[in-house]
Chain A
Amino acid sequence: MQPSTIPVEYFVVLSAVLFVIGVLGVLVRRNAIMIFMSVELMLNAANLALVAFSRQWGEVQGHVFVFFVMTVAAAEVAVGLALIVAIFKAKKSIDIDELHSMQG
């Protein structure tokens, strides 16, 4: 297969942009779902970087690693959504700032 002409730097920059958006989403948003989605964005940014470098070097480990990340992310989604449902049942809200009972 003919390697793409798109240089790897583009992928890395895109990945970084996506990751930063995810981080900002986690830090800024108050809705638990949104935070969750931001975390997924960070994971996929990381996946993109892995795949890009894997393609660059013609290796398969990066691809395989991405699959594992996606699997774990799916499991994480299951657990995370369940947590969000449970939080909602308890608090009638999923505003993450309502959950600060651990304040010192």
Chain B
Amino acid sequence: MENYASIVPLVVFIPLAGMLINLVWGKRLGERGSGAIGTLAAAGAFGIAALLMLMLARSGYEAVVVNPPILTGWISIPSAALEIPWQFRVDTLSVTMMLVITGVGTLIHVYAIGYMHGDPRFPRFFVYLNLFLAFMLILVTGNNLLMTFVGWEGVGLCSFLLIGFWFDKARGEGWRNSNAARKAFIVNRVGDFGFLLAIFLTFWTFGTLDYYKPGEPVRAEGEEHAAVVQTATEGKTPTTGETHTAETKPTGETKTTGVVQLGIFGQTEQWLKEGGHKVRFGSTELPLETILTLITLFILIGVTGKSAQIPLFVWLPDAMAGPTPVSALIHAATMVTAGIYLATRCNVFFHYSPFSSGLMTIVGACTAVFAGFVALGQWDIKKVLAYSTVSQLGFMVAAVGLGAFSAAYFHLITHAFFKALLFLGSGSVIHGMEHGHHHVEHLGHDEAHGDVGAHGTLDAHGEAHAAHDAHEDVGVHGGVVYAVEVHAHDDVGAHGSTNTPVHEEHATHGATNTPIPEAPLHGTLFDAQDMRNMGGLRHKMPITFWTYLIGTLALSGIFPFAGFWSKDDILASAFRAGFNDGRIEGFIALALLIVAAFFTAFYMWRQIRYVFLGKPRTAAAENVPESVPLMTLPLIILAILSVFGGMLNLVEPFVIQRLGMINEGLTVWLEHSVRFVTGGAFNFPLAITALAVAVGAILLAERVYGRNNPLTKKGRDPLQARPEMRQAFGIANAKGYTDAIYSAIIEQPYNRASQWLANVLDWKFWHDYVHEKLIWRGFDGVAALLSGPVDRSVIDRGFLGFGGLISRVAARLRGLQTGYVRTYTFTMLVGVLIVLFIILFPLLRLMAGGQ
């Protein structure tokens, strides 16, 4: 069976191939061609994932490590004992993620063909989507932390590219989009930093980054979960013909031989069993338990970044600037769940560090409540869903912290279904609103300024139409369309209020710098995403409405939709942690999550009321068409999944044996790859309570918003109109002032610090003092010293004096040259006589001596 697993590299390769084809021939293939290539690549990856699932089911869920034909020895530094292979891990955990990513991904690809129709950069969109799929699949299939990190960074890059996909929209919109992209990237860097530190610390501690070595079982023989695990003897067979046969013994002799034979989790357990293991850091030693807490805390930082938890969640609402399929795929279903995947993969670490787990629970539960609260006060249809996603991710993170890994995973899967459905539904609505608006604009023009009431003044309308044409020219697609639209907006965050002061500044900056084809208009924005402009879409787009309703009910946790089961699983885990295990964070999580569940149901029903029920509030909403089948088909499929997704993990009283369902199917499935998976226990009173809370929230929302036009006469939210709720709504509408707080405690100090660095340190100290004073003046001083005293008075004078001396001596000697032949002759005679004397002098002495 292991041989079949070697197809796993294809799951990454197929989207990559699709990306390359679209990258090279995208323009030539046209919309149909490139859309088909992208979708087929995603569907092909899904097919591979499904094959792998079947393979796992047939081989007894035995995890397999696959060495791909290329890149096997990825990073190898023998002298440093650094050996990081490029290995894929096929186990139930990774295959589940693969199925979710590629399955939901395929549907979203299909949807995107319809949604992105007419976009000038249509092929590029599919290039990015396929690249994203490839990275996401690397993330979940890697067998070591570094491969996961590669995918982790890659999806971050794709997220950046796709959030800023419409970076060139007119009138500063593009600035807003690219700022959102940058914000997402930068905030994620903070989390990535934590993840990196976790990787470094893991490597330092264990000397390897592999989760499990090839053939190493997840849990040792004879443990409580081992009933469903394959026997260790079968696990000993080498996987793909690599030379790992020596390393397949389940436990033992890691320390004695010094050769790493276990993955990081196996080593952890073995060392903890032996006890007293210390990790050396230079001159200090830390016990393994402390190290595990540190590693998990660093991982938690990474999780808060990628999975948008407090305090790093701020990027996700802004990420809604990207096209809606991106929001559905990346920012709801897949990428943001990478943190949950990572924490589940590292469940052994979290199991043995109660402090980190507790902190994680608190973080997740607080995020769930906070984001749910903020979602109550949002006007933008996608912002509501964005905060909802943050909130639901909080549920999952809390579940991971509670050790309920299967519950977290269960919620991850169902959430991927219904949140993708909701995002795609909102995209359908936005698309329809734009078409409706477009329709109204053209109609008004053809009828020679017929309906004055809906469009303000006659003069302004023509301009609006011109603007609209121009808007088409520059290829603006989603989001805000400019026109003259008379609408009573309140002052509280009229247009989604995403603009922080910094954004405003950039927006105006962009407007002045980029060439804008038409003159500025005197009119207000028409925001196709503002729920105040909608209403009554139920009859205009029935498929979107019914699927959206299903998504809403599933998210709210209404029986028997998917969200009911998964959310209840998490609540039951919190209950058990609190009441059975006596963990304080269990109580806290239970209380906070029930409040969050209440908020969830409330804001979702508010949204349904604003968008689909009642009467249309604008001309655009009156003329909304239903979306094309390419867009509605994925909605229908996701709606079906949202209805039946709960059956994945049905618990005891609900298991229908005849349908082939097994008790806690997902938990049993995950047992084979997650060491500390704990099955959920269905808790009837709790489930009834949760259901009552959700239904109560929906009924309350119906009471508040259940009119034909939920807005008050001043165009305000009913909650806002009530004096006792006004302040709370204001806080929620302002996103809990998080952007303001972040601006005050991070951005502004940062700006001040950088200004200080620029003005004081760089200019005043470095430029004025070091350069101007020390270097320039110093150089001048040294040069003056050298030229004046040294050069002029010493060197110059010396040489000039010498020259003068020569000259004076020469003047004296010149007198010898009389010009008279006589003189020369006499001189020569004297010379000859001297020479003669020298020659003859010894002779004379000899003669004198001889006598």
Contacts and interface: CB of A to CB of B under 8 A. Distances in A.
24 contacts: A23-B829, A27-B822, A27-B825, A27-B826, A27-B829, A35-B821, A96-B820, A96-B822, A97-B820, A97-B822, A99-B821, A100-B818, A100-B819, A102-B817, A102-B819, A103-B817, A103-B818, A103-B819, A103-B820, A104-B813, A104-B815, A104-B816, A104-B818, A104-B819
B814 interface: yes
Contacts of B819: 99-104
A51 interface: no
A104 B817 contact: yes
B432 to A, nearest CB: 115
Nearest to A29: B822
Contacts of B820: 96-97, 100, 103
A99 B824 CA distance: 13
A-B CB proximity, top 9 nearest: A104-B817, A103-B819, A100-B819, A104-B814, A102-B819, A100-B820, A96-B821, A103-B818, A26-B825
Contacts of B816: 104
Interface string B444-468: 0000000000000000000000000
Contacts of A103: 817-820
B140 to A, nearest CB: 105
Interface string B809-851: 0000111111111100110010000000000000000000000
Q: Which of A35, A96, A100, A101 has the most CB of B within 10 A?
A: A100
Contacts of B813: 104
B715 to A, nearest CB: 116
Interface string A1-33: 000000000000000000000010011000000
A89 to B, nearest CB: 19
A96 to B, nearest CB: 5
Interface residues of B, number: 13
Interface residues of A, number: 12
Q: Which of A23, A99, A103 has the most CB of B within 10 A?
A: A103
Interface in B170-208: none
Nearest to A101: B819
Contacts of A27: 822, 825-826, 829
Contacts of B825: 26-27
B673 to A, nearest CB: 112
Given A27-B822, A97-B820, A104-B819, 9 more contacts: A26-B825, A27-B825, A27-B826, A35-B821, A96-B821, A97-B822, A99-B821, A104-B814, A104-B815
Nearest to A103: B819
Contacts of B818: 100, 103-104
Contacts of B815: 104
A102 B824 CA distance: 11
Nearest to A26: B825
A100 B819 CA distance: 4
Q: Which of B813, B815, B818, B822 has the most CB of A within 10 A?
A: B822
Contacts of A102: 817, 819
B556 to A, nearest CB: 123
B737 to A, nearest CB: 103
A37 to B, nearest CB: 15
Contacts of A99: 819, 821
Nearest to A99: B821
Nearest to A23: B829
Contacts of A96: 820-822
Contacts of A35: 821
Contacts of B826: 27
Contacts of A97: 820, 822
A78 B821 CA distance: 20
A98 to B, nearest CB: 10
A101 B813 CA distance: 17
A103 B819 CA distance: 4
Interface in B572-611: none
Interface string A50-89: 0000000000000000000000000000000000000000
A64 to B, nearest CB: 24
Nearest to B816: A104
Interface in B774-822: 813-822
Nearest to A39: B825
Nearest to A104: B817
A26 B819 CA distance: 15
A90 to B, nearest CB: 16
Contacts of A101: 819
B814 to A, nearest CB: 4
Interface string B281-301: 000000000000000000000
Q: Which of B813, B814, B820 has the most CB of A within 10 A?
A: B820
Interface in A31-47: 35
Contacts of A26: 822, 825
A103 B817 CA distance: 5
A104 B818 CA distance: 6
A78 B790 CA distance: 64
A17 to B, nearest CB: 16
Contacts of B821: 35, 96, 99
A26 B822 CA distance: 7
Contacts of A23: 829
A103 B826 CA distance: 16
B821 to A, nearest CB: 5
A100 B814 CA distance: 14
B809 to A, nearest CB: 13
Contacts of B814: 104
A101 to B, nearest CB: 6
A26 B826 CA distance: 9
A35 B826 CA distance: 13
